[in-house]
Amino acid sequence: MASEAMELNGDANRRDDPGARPQQGRMSRNTPLNMNHYANKKSAAESMLDIALLMANASQLKTVLELGPTFSFYIPLITLISISLTLQIIVGILLIFIVKWNLNDSSKHYILNLLENIVTALVFIVVVVNVFITAFGVQRPDDKTS
């Protein structure tokens, strides 16, 4: 009786018998990794995180605009949030290009690697900018009716 093993990819029902044929849609240890599928899933996950941060920055921008120019960090926050939003849009566009190109085509490897490095650098910059946005604080003051 073959024991069931839990793999990092969540495939808990796979047989450990090397002679067994893999079930339809299941990966086996001898099956090569489909790099296109892997890259597409990775890019989709990055895109979802980018969308979440984009929504958070849009909400922060709305809050700062509602607080108005009397808010002490109005100009720095508008600038930082605008930089963050712009970089996130650029990252999203680059991720679309990365997903569309065939990773198995070796003639595209150089440009795909370059794009991945650019995306990684831009995401790092977005994170740093958002640390500063958080440091300046975009919370609404509590409504005190006393």
- Confidence bin at 6 (pLDDT 50/70/90): very low
Mean pLDDT, all residues of the chain: 75
Q: Which long-range contacts (CB under 8 A, 24 or more apart) does 75-81 make?
A: 76/136, 77/133, 77/136, 77/138, 80/129, 80/132, 80/133, 80/136, 81/57, 81/133
The span from the CA of 64 to the CA of 83, in Å, is 15
Over residues 37-68, the pLDDT tens digits come to: 666 677 667 667 778 888 889 988 998 999 88
What's residue 80's pLDDT? Answer: 94
pTM over 0.85: no
Residues 6+ apart with CB under 8 A from 142: none
Distance of CA 110 to the CA centre of its chain: 22
Given a cut of 50, whether residue 114 has pLDDT beyond it is yes
Let me know: does 82 contact 133? Beta carbons within 8 Å: no
Whether the pLDDT of residue 122 is over 60: the answer is yes
Mind listing the pLDDT tens digit for each residue in 64-107? 999 889 888 899 999 999 999 999 999 988 888 887 877 777 88
Per-residue exposure over 15-38, b if at least 16 CB sit within 10 Å of its own CB, e if not: beeeeeeeeeeeeeeeeeeeeeee
